Structure 1
Amino acid sequence: MSSVMAFSFCTLVLWLYSVVFVQAELSQDFSKCSNFFYRGTPPQGFVGAGRQPICQRFRNQYHFASLYHRENRTPLFSAYTLKPANGKRPNATWMYEPQLSFSRADPEMKPLPYPTTDNNVIESQAVQQDYKHSNYTKGHLNPSMHQETKSNRMATFSLTNIVPQRAGSNSGPWSQLELEVLRRFKRACVGPMYVLTGALPHKHTQHWINNRVLIPEYMWSAYCCPFYNRSTSDHTHFPTHAAVGRNDRHSDQEIVPIDVKAKRSKWGYDVRRMSLEALEEVLTQRLGAPIRLFQDQCREQQDIATSAMTTPHEL
């Protein structure tokens, strides 16, 4: 082979490689959507096989990020910046992530046919028929009404943002928590509020719907609002706060106690508010690895410097 031919062949190989690289949006990190994490840093400690970072893309725009567990066919968490909705909740057009089934597929989420017959899609992720007759609702980790535009809200209807959630939780105490966080944002948050919402599997025995989709025992959520109105806000809720909600009314009460006076339809789906540190401790114990949700506990560099200067005097 002549040197010219060899150079042309190598150039062609490099060009083909670059095309594949550009098309393949799924990667080992969140570098293309790091803006959904405080200081561009994803949570630390969510390690293990089968975990796929997804920059959730719809209509040529990234809307939020999810860490998806391929074997469980559910997200471990979704990360987003809260912006109050400027309209109503859209009609649900459920979507799927093509690249989970084929790495060179279009990098945008697509409408999910019902019933889904493509085996590559069925094997790679949850589909709508998984939830049929399951007695579980499709529970958003990133709720649509925490997203500003219609496109933002439509993007939350990807099944890669969904876990099996009991109706008593989804339309009860967990829904109230989402409204509560929204009110706090409007009342006191100045600038972005970074939110992480995830799910915890059962501690000892795994529970599934359709023998395919893992059912969480608990939902959890935490937010980081580094800049807030200090004159009007409740300082126990800023700059961070967190919560854990029951998704199994028969679970023990070690993490979240039960309100025995709750309505029958909501009984056993209580939500416990807590500090960020308390939630990280719960996650660390249940997941078996040190968990840190926000870089420097959502403290701005100025606060850290001030703390470093005052701590010696306090000692």
Structure 2
Amino acid sequence: MSWPPKGLAGTPICQRYINQYRFATLYSRPRRSPLFSAYLYTAPAGKRPPASWKYEPQLAYPGADGNMITFPPGPVDQNVVDSQAVEMDYTHSTYSRGHLNPSLHHQSHEDRSATFTLTNVVPQKEGSNEGPWKDLEQIVNKALVAYCLGRAYVVTGIIPYQTEEHWLKNHRVAVPEYLWSAYCCPNYNNSLPKELKDTFPTYAAIGRNDPNSTEEIVAC
């Protein structure tokens, strides 16, 4: 597989935290939001880490260190503001910060903490993020913990609006029309319950993110 994938215009980010690569993201600079994040699933352990939000210095300064950095208190460097989403973009917004790569799908504290970067989130309807989409992440987690015997590969991404783009804060961050997620577990326990027969070795689901749509998640 080539990286970045052919046919999608974006900036590839090898998401690095504490000097270790954690996952990969294809980032859209014009949208100031990711197109997708890809990661290896590992069974979660311990409590969810606090939401200490980070940014990607390489988007602001090409020669910068590759490690994501926690936003400082107070004003943010203008080059960072120009190159990517910042915390103020989501303040007093009707949308929440929707993880593409969720903390729940990782084991180590460092891997889980690394998901809290704004280059890994998109504006997502609060009702979906805390409702059906959260349920989907938990269902996937339980299925992979119980029946996946080896590595599980997960990709979660967005589909933009084809017309009349929606934005946060006067064209600061683009709001996607759809969120989708797919996984592949090549090696799994064949003793699957009937309700999971169609979810291995691969599974995918999609949900609409439009304010006027329902929050239903549909299996693909």
Task: Give the TM-score of the pair, scaled to structure 2.
Answer: 0.94
Q: Which runs of 4+ in 1 moved over 3 A?
A: 40-46
Match of 2:218 in 1: 272
The answer to whether the 8 A contact 2:49-2:113 is kept is: yes
Give distance in 1, aligned partners of 2:75 and 2:180: 30
Q: Which amino acid aligns with 1:221?
A: S
Give distance in 2, aligned partners of 1:95 and 1:44: 25
Match of 2:184 in 1: 224
The answer to whether the 8 A contact 1:72-1:213 is kept is: yes
Check if 1:94 corresponds to 2:53. Answer: yes
Give distance in 2, aligned partners of 1:197 and 1:42: 16
Structure-to-structure mapping, 1:121-136, within 5 angstroms? 121-136=80-95
Match of 2:66 in 1: 107
Give distance in 2, aligned partners of 1:169 and 1:228: 29
Check if 1:238 corresponds to 2:184. Answer: no
Q: Which amino acid aligns with 1:204?
A: T
The answer to whether the 8 A contact 1:189-1:225 is kept is: yes
Give distance in 1, aligned partners of 2:87 and 2:74: 7
Give distance in 2, aligned partners of 1:140 and 1:42: 21
Instruction: Give the CA RMSD over aligned residues.
Output: 1.5
The CA deviation string for residues 137-166 of structure 1, in whole angstroms up to 9 with x for no partner, is 111000001111110011000110010111
Give distance in 1, aligned partners of 2:165 and 2:179: 15
Structure-to-structure mapping, 1:27-176, within 5 angstroms? 44-48=5-9, 51-176=10-135
Larger relative contact order (Cα-Cα within 8 Å, sequence gap ≥ 6): 2
Identity of aligned residues (%): 50
The answer to whether the 8 A contact 2:125-2:211 is kept is: no
Question: Which structure shows the bigger proportion of residues in strand conformation?
Answer: 2
Q: Which amino acid aligns with 2:13?
A: I
The answer to whether the 8 A contact 1:116-1:127 is kept is: no
* Count of aligned residue pairs for this structure pair: 217
The answer to whether the 8 A contact 1:76-1:199 is kept is: yes
Q: Which runs of 5+ in 1 are unaligned?
A: 1-39, 252-267, 275-315
Shift of 1:42: 5.3
Structure 1 206/217 Cα, relative in aligned 2: closer, same or farther at 3 Å?
A: same
Give distance in 2, aligned partners of 1:201 and 1:121: 23
The answer to whether the 8 A contact 1:115-1:128 is kept is: no
DSSP 3-state at the match of 1:187: helix
Give distance in 1, aligned partners of 2:216 and 2:4: 25
Give distance in 2, aligned partners of 1:220 and 1:247: 10
The CA deviation string for residues 85-112 of structure 1, in whole angstroms up to 9 with x for no partner, is 1111111110000010001111100011
Check if 1:247 corresponds to 2:193. Answer: no
Structure 1 217/115 Cα, relative in aligned 2: closer, same or farther at 3 Å?
A: farther
The answer to whether the 8 A contact 2:168-2:174 is kept is: yes
Structure 1 178/228 Cα, relative in aligned 2: closer, same or farther at 3 Å?
A: same
Structure-to-structure mapping, 1:273-292, within 5 angstroms? 273-274=219-220
The CA deviation string for residues 170-206 of structure 1, in whole angstroms up to 9 with x for no partner, is 0000000001101110121110110000111112111
Match of 1:4 in 2: none
Structure 1 42/173 Cα, relative in aligned 2: closer, same or farther at 3 Å?
A: farther
Structure 1 137/88 Cα, relative in aligned 2: closer, same or farther at 3 Å?
A: same
Give distance in 1, aligned partners of 2:105 and 2:190: 23
DSSP 3-state at the match of 1:54: strand
Q: Which runs of 5+ in 2 are unaligned?
A: none
The answer to whether the 8 A contact 1:115-1:129 is kept is: no
Question: Which structure shows the bigger proportion of residues in helix conformation?
Answer: 1
Q: Which amino acid aligns with 2:159?
A: L
Shift of 1:55: 0.5
